[in-house]
């Protein structure tokens, strides 16, 4: 059985493909999930891909991932900039977490330049559109292998 990683998606990512395509691209979250599943197979990883608009659900999923996965990638979306709860959840678990964003948060509005979650993630990938997800999977696989 393949090692499993969670790929968690925060608020408004269910609207990808329709929401600000100039910023986030034209792929839907379902397209990105399909790409991740295909790429994860090459890494010999299984994935559990989820999306929610609710902060507490992301916290619960991080706790669940800690019990049943070898790592997690999270696109916290706007919650990354505001959520001490997500910071604390990532800090509290023992599996590695990679933070990712579709857009380059450092080239956007100043309030997006810092995330609450970055200091407790093993790394952050941003600015590569949907490819940010497969880059995060690769980084996570490498990190897990090196541990």
Q: Is 101 a catalytic residue?
A: yes
Beta bridge partners of 124: 99
Three-state secondary structure call for residue 45: strand
Radius of gyration of the chain (CA): 14
The DSSP element (H or E) to which 71 belongs, if any, is: strand 71-75
Strands 3-9 and 71-75: parallel
Q: Which of 63, 101, 113, 133 is flagged as catalytic?
A: 101
First to last CA, the chain: 20
Record the tokens describing residue 110, joined without a space.
């100043």
Active site annotation includes 39 = no
Active-site residue set: 24, 101
């Amino acid at each position: 059985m393949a090692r499993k990683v969670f790929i968690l998606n925060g608020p408004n990512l269910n609207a990808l493909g329709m929401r600000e395509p100039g910023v986030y691209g034209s792929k839907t979250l379902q397209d990105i999930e399909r790409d991740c599943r295909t790429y994860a197979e090459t890494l010999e990883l299984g994935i559990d891909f989820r999306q929610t608009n609710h902060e507490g659900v992301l916290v619960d999923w991080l706790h669940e991932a800690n019990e049943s996965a070898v790592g997690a990638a999270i696109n916290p979306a706007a919650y990354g900039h505001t959520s001490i709860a997500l910071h604390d959840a990532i800090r509290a678990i023992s599996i590695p977490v990679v933070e990712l964003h579709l857009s380059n948060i450092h080239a956007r509005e100043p309030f997006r330049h810092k995330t609450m979650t970055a200091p407790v993630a093993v790394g952050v990938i941003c600015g590569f559109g949907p490819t940010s997800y497969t880059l995060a999977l690769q980084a996570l696989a490498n990190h897990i292998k090196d541990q």
